[in-house]
Amino acid sequence: MSKKVTIVGAGLVGSLLAALLGKRGHSVDIFERRPDIRKADISAGKSINMACSTRGWKALDLVGAGDKVREAAIAMNGRMMHGINESLTFQPYGKEGEAIYSISRAGLNQILIDHADQFDNVNFHFNHKCLDLDLDTPSATFEISNGDHKEVTTDLIFGTDGAFSAVRSVMQKLKHFNFSQEYISHDYKELSIDSNDGQFQMDKHALHIWPRGSHMLIALPNPDGSFTCTLFLPYEGGNSFEQLNSETEIRRFFEDKFPDALKLIPNLIELFNENPTSPLVIVRCFPWTYEDKVALIGDASHAIVPFYGQGMNAGFEDVSILDELMTKHGEDWNSLFLEFQATRKPDADAIADLALKNFIEMRDLVGQEWFLKRKKIERALYETFPGKFIPQYSMVSFTNTPYSEAVRIGNQQDLILDRLAETENILELIEQGNFKSFIESNNIIQN
């Protein structure tokens, strides 16, 4: 039976969910505090870029938006590491043909809103800020642009209003509601590398990384030839955003740490001073649902740091899983919500932990010799035993294996990789084609 559904937040996850519920025939009203992003002017470098991978594509295809998104996305086949001496090292993400895809967040949001808006039973309400909820009715109160308040009574409310969710803040008052919010030591700032007359100034099909220990710069390609860069620095202390407060300091820092990038960002000082510095937060909470009436989805229930490129993908996967559970439970929203939160919470916790771990990998380890050796061994195992050894990064990015399962298998793989990395002539065995027989004769991978 069709439900009257209220969605709070028309960001990436909210608009995808609106499309799914619209497709399933529900009557959907989706409220967004900002103006309609489709009418905003989004120039290159003014929007974060997202890396979309398999879980994201699955959900986008489910609602029929995948092909439109593919047209606006660029494949990134691996990481391009920029050494301090301006050297370049390329590390593929997976096997031939496996890539993650760069897309501007604003562009993706526009596509998803447009897509959901096609359904007659989906109505968008912009400039509506959710102020409060009555969980039992359920109903939601919104402030509209003239300052008036509007109350909406409904059957179901989905909170897709991001890391600082207003819906969650009402649920936080419930007995036994657990919540934690943790800022990490680093903030981030967007910068950009312009195209050279429509030409990319660096390899187009790579995610570029300048790993420098406690700080890091990354750059993702855009279809117009530009790159959107993100600078991650501690917010205080040595080499921090707090310290880089003069033109001389900023320039000196880039000359020291990112000399090749500096050459490509002639307007560095302008961008640095104009663009905001934003914090990075991890949010964990439980429960995610209230009776058969209210549910939190996406960052509202599990915001993570961006270093695995999985925050949005995980939110999109929430939507795919909800779809499966709608088919399974039909009208029984109570059982549906209970199963959703029980199965999904361990996976949300797992990807939160993996994302933090990947921060260390990206900013520090990718530049180190032993790490690159370990990656070579991992790749050789993947290529030699593709059915038996799928690296953790590939499981997370190129399969729909539950995140908690990827952590469990990854822990076992670490033991194997540690052991192989200690084998002195391991790289020669790989190069000389003797790797398979070595692994098999030592029973390292079970048949």
User: Which spans of this chain sit near ligand FAD (rule: CB under 6 A)?
Assistant: 8-14, 31-34, 48, 50-51, 129-130, 160-162, 166, 188, 230, 298-300, 306, 309-313, 315
The CA distance from 93 to 98, in Å, is 7
Nearest to 363 by CA among 280, 298, 419: 280
The CA distance from 98 to 101, in Å, is 10
Task: Give every CB contact of residue 256 below 8 A, 6+ residues apart in sequence.
Answer: none
Contact 89, 80 (CB under 8 A): yes
Q: Which residue in the shown chain puts its C-beta closest to ligand FAD?
A: 11
Which residue lies nearer to ligand FAD by CB, 231 or 381? 231
* Residue 164 CB, nearest approach to ligand FAD (Å): 7
Which residue lies nearer to ligand FAD by CB, 240 or 335? 240
Which residue lies nearer to ligand FAD by CB, 162 or 410? 162
Which residue lies nearer to ligand FAD by CB, 167 or 336? 167
* Residue 438 CB, nearest approach to ligand FAD (Å): 37
Which residue lies nearer to ligand FAD by CB, 47 or 430? 47
* Residue 229 CB, nearest approach to ligand FAD (Å): 11
What distances in angstroms separate CA 72 from CA 54, 63, 322, 367, one per listed residue?
16, 17, 26, 31
* Residue 63 CB, nearest approach to ligand FAD (Å): 14
* Residue 196 CB, nearest approach to ligand FAD (Å): 25
Which residue lies nearer to ligand FAD by CB, 126 or 389? 126
Contact 359, 310 (CB under 8 A): no
Which residue lies nearer to ligand FAD by CB, 21 or 130? 130
* Residue 148 CB, nearest approach to ligand FAD (Å): 15
* Residue 87 CB, nearest approach to ligand FAD (Å): 25
Which residue lies nearer to ligand FAD by CB, 230 or 426? 230
* Residue 13 CB, nearest approach to ligand FAD (Å): 3
